[in-house]
Protein backbone atom coordinates (compact mmCIF):
# COMPACT_ATOMS: atom_id res chain seq x y z
CA UNK A 1 0.00 0.00 0.00
CA UNK A 2 1.30 3.47 -0.84
CA UNK A 3 0.37 6.75 0.77
CA UNK A 4 -0.81 9.38 -1.67
CA UNK A 5 -2.05 12.93 -1.12
CA UNK A 6 -5.74 13.66 -1.62
CA UNK A 7 -6.85 14.60 -5.13
CA UNK A 8 -5.57 18.02 -6.04
CA UNK A 9 -3.09 18.24 -3.15
CA UNK A 10 0.12 19.78 -4.31
CA UNK A 11 -1.54 21.20 -7.42
CA UNK A 12 -1.23 24.91 -7.98
CA UNK A 13 -4.45 26.70 -7.15
CA UNK A 14 -5.69 30.25 -7.51
CA UNK A 15 -4.52 31.11 -3.97
CA UNK A 16 -0.97 30.13 -4.87
CA UNK A 17 -1.25 32.33 -7.94
CA UNK A 18 -2.11 35.40 -5.88
CA UNK A 19 -5.93 35.31 -6.01
CA UNK A 20 -6.62 34.74 -2.31
CA UNK A 21 -9.81 35.97 -0.72
CA UNK A 22 -10.67 36.96 2.85
CA UNK A 23 -8.96 34.55 5.21
CA UNK A 24 -7.04 32.93 2.36
CA UNK A 25 -3.37 33.73 1.83
CA UNK A 26 -2.19 34.75 -1.59
CA UNK A 27 1.05 35.14 -3.50
CA UNK A 28 4.23 34.34 -1.61
CA UNK A 29 2.35 33.37 1.59
CA UNK A 30 0.18 30.85 -0.26
CA UNK A 31 3.20 29.33 -2.01
CA UNK A 32 5.03 29.00 1.33
CA UNK A 33 2.02 27.36 3.01
CA UNK A 34 1.64 25.00 0.06
CA UNK A 35 5.32 24.07 0.40
CA UNK A 36 4.85 23.41 4.14
CA UNK A 37 1.84 21.21 3.41
CA UNK A 38 3.67 19.32 0.65
CA UNK A 39 6.74 18.78 2.86
CA UNK A 40 4.53 17.61 5.75
CA UNK A 41 2.66 15.17 3.49
CA UNK A 42 5.95 13.82 2.11
CA UNK A 43 7.23 13.28 5.66
CA UNK A 44 4.04 11.51 6.72
CA UNK A 45 4.12 9.30 3.63
CA UNK A 46 7.76 8.40 4.34
CA UNK A 47 6.79 7.28 7.86
CA UNK A 48 3.79 5.22 6.68
CA UNK A 49 3.90 1.51 7.38
CA UNK A 50 4.12 -0.33 4.04
CA UNK A 51 1.43 -2.89 4.93
CA UNK A 52 -1.18 -0.60 6.50
CA UNK A 53 -0.44 2.83 5.12
CA UNK A 54 -0.77 4.17 8.65
CA UNK A 55 1.94 6.43 10.06
CA UNK A 56 4.20 4.62 12.52
CA UNK A 57 3.94 6.24 15.93
CA UNK A 58 6.76 4.28 17.53
CA UNK A 59 10.04 4.84 15.71
CA UNK A 60 12.95 2.62 16.72
pLDDT digits (tens, 9 = 90+) for 32-42: 999 999 999 99
**pTM as predicted:** 0.52
Closest CA to 37 of 9, 18, 14: 9
Give residue 24's pLDDT.
Answer: 80
Give residue 54's pLDDT.
Answer: 87
Q: Report CA-CA distances (Å) from 46 to 21, 54, 58, 59.
A: 33, 10, 14, 12
pLDDT digits (tens, 9 = 90+) for 4-29: 665 555 444 444 455 667 778 889 99
Amino acid sequence: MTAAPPDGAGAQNSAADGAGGPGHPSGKDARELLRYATDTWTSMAAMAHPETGLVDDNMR
